[in-house]
Amino acid sequence: MKLFLRIKILFVLFAAILLVSCSNEAWKIDNVKDIAVGAGDSIFFISKKDNFQFSVGCNQISLIRNDVALVGKDDRFGYVDDEGEIIIPDVYKYATVFNNNMAWVVRKGDLPSIINRKGELKFTLREVDWVEIYIEDMARYYSIENRQKRYGFASLTGEKVVAPLYYDATHFSEGLAAVKGLDNKWGYIDKSGLVIIPAKFDGAKTFINQYAVVALNDKWGIIDKMGEFVLEPRFDDMTSDGEFYITLSEEKWGWTDINGNWVIEPTFEKILPFNGADIAPVMLDGKWAYVDKYGEIVIKRQFDEAYPFVDDLALVKIGDYYGFINDEGVYKINPQYTYVSADYINNAIYGLPYYMSVKSDR
């Protein structure tokens, strides 16, 4: 087994981006100081100027979040500080990144538990099969009953404030979570489990800036927090991207405004979000380029993979090698690395960690 995992996830992430909205400001790291990369059989951190910082003997690693990074090798996870020193040994089979001094961990043969940054156990969440990091102080979880996942939510103390009643659910955003009921229809609940928008949609995404994208009869539109349509469903897919919406029409992608007017015409095979930047990645004829908010190509199509900008750098790949460019398409870190942390990529696309859930080992 190689020391590190070769990450080939662009197309998987592109499919997944359609299921979530692209704004998670509480989790997004806008200024990544150190980046985990790999070459040969080594993984190490570099600065944004491509200076070596420190190496780590692992094959999975997160960004440094609140001075701590999650590291893993051969199904053993632990934590190091921002200088690479071990602060919690690799005794866990599954683990998430820290947030508010809390992380979910699972020892071999055990259930999900919360630890603090000293590695001290705070509580164990029983009778669950999977749990996610806390978002808006609520942790999404599911239990499997009769081979069917049933989703609920737990509080910061581990209380199951929303029982596992739903076939599917999003995380909370702006105080609401989308949930899929037993009739396969989606609605929205608050943090007490009270139904705020009745289940009547065929698909639903999280609220961003007071609006959410929902589906009816295989078409997507936009609702407000009263559940009323501000844009009737008429597109093949939509996802919030700040002031715009990533929108699919007749198998081509572009961006619309909240009224469904095309801001950037649907001419692209694939696109990834602006996420607050001035330019965004788009695919044309199998290669990636970057466009501005007028739809003009500002960095020519040349990349095998390309990702949204994080601060002043964007990750790109040509052939087998990753590098980083600025907004003029000039390499600031030359293509030389065969690995970049999946946590960096997830942060760039979704503003969320890659290591954000654990499953029970019982």
* 199: in domain: yes
* 174: in domain: yes
pLDDT for 3: 37
Task: Supply the range of the domain harboring residue 106.
Answer: 10-359
pLDDT for 24: 56
pLDDT digits (tens, 9 = 90+) for 225-236: 999 999 999 999
* 3: in domain: no
* 347: in domain: yes
pLDDT < 50 regions, the chain: 1-15
pTM: 0.91
* 137: in domain: yes
Q: How many domains does the chain have?
A: 1
* 320: in domain: yes
pLDDT for 40: 84
Residue 80 sits in a domain of what CATH number?
2.140.10
* 79: in domain: yes
Q: Is the dihedral of CA 170, 67, 44, 306 positive or negative?
A: positive
pLDDT for 41: 84
* 181: in domain: yes
